[in-house]
Amino acid sequence: MNIFLSASIRGGRDMLSTYIEMCNYLQENGHDVLSWHVADPELERTESLLTEQEIYIRDMEFLEKSHCVIAEVSTPSIGVGYEISSALQRGLSVLCLYTPQTNVSAMILGDKRITSKEYRNMDAMKGEIDSFLNSINKS
Ligand SMILES: O=c1[nH]c(=O)n([C@H]2C[C@H](O)[C@@H](COP(=O)(O)O)O2)cc1CO
């Protein structure tokens, strides 16, 4: 499956190790993570070679080619919110994942088109990803 992984960049990179684990897990399970760059520790250097418009156009093209979006929303990020909304407009399924004690926006938790799940550890997060992808495959 083509998956758009959405994760904070300018919103803050404190959870980079989580993004890497999510990306690796999806790839190990045979998925094509089109936006794998969000989990790249070298991202700041590689993205600085692109203009803001080039970044935007590339990511919107990735979204067009994706079957679903999986977003880590514990760190508030305008770009992640924008991508979630864009995915919904295109009719894509969206999974939002967040850790306990994070203050996730009501605009995410209140939208019943979105599957929003809290996870306490990496195994739980992987379980939520599996359930979400299985539900898409069945629909
Ligand atoms: O350099 C970038 N490259 C890029 O792909 N993005 C996209 C992918 C991420 O899922 C999302 C992060 O948004 P933000 O930078 O507002 O946290 O936006 C965002 C930026 C910087 O805003």
CA 80 – ligand 1 centroid, Å: 7
CA 135 – ligand 1 centroid, Å: 27
Interatomic CA distance for residues 3 and 9, integer angstroms? 18
* Domain map (residue ranges) of the chain: 2-138
Interatomic CA distance for residues 31 and 25, integer angstroms? 9
pTM of the model: 0.98
Per residue of the chain (139 residues), what is the pLDDT tens digit? Answer: 999 999 999 999 999 999 999 999 999 999 999 999 999 999 989 998 999 999 999 999 999 999 999 999 999 999 999 999 999 999 999 999 999 999 999 999 999 999 999 999 999 999 999 999 999 987 6
CATH number assigned to the domain with residue range 2-138, chosen from the 4 options 3.20.20.80, 3.40.50.2300, 3.40.50.450, 3.30.70.140: 3.40.50.450
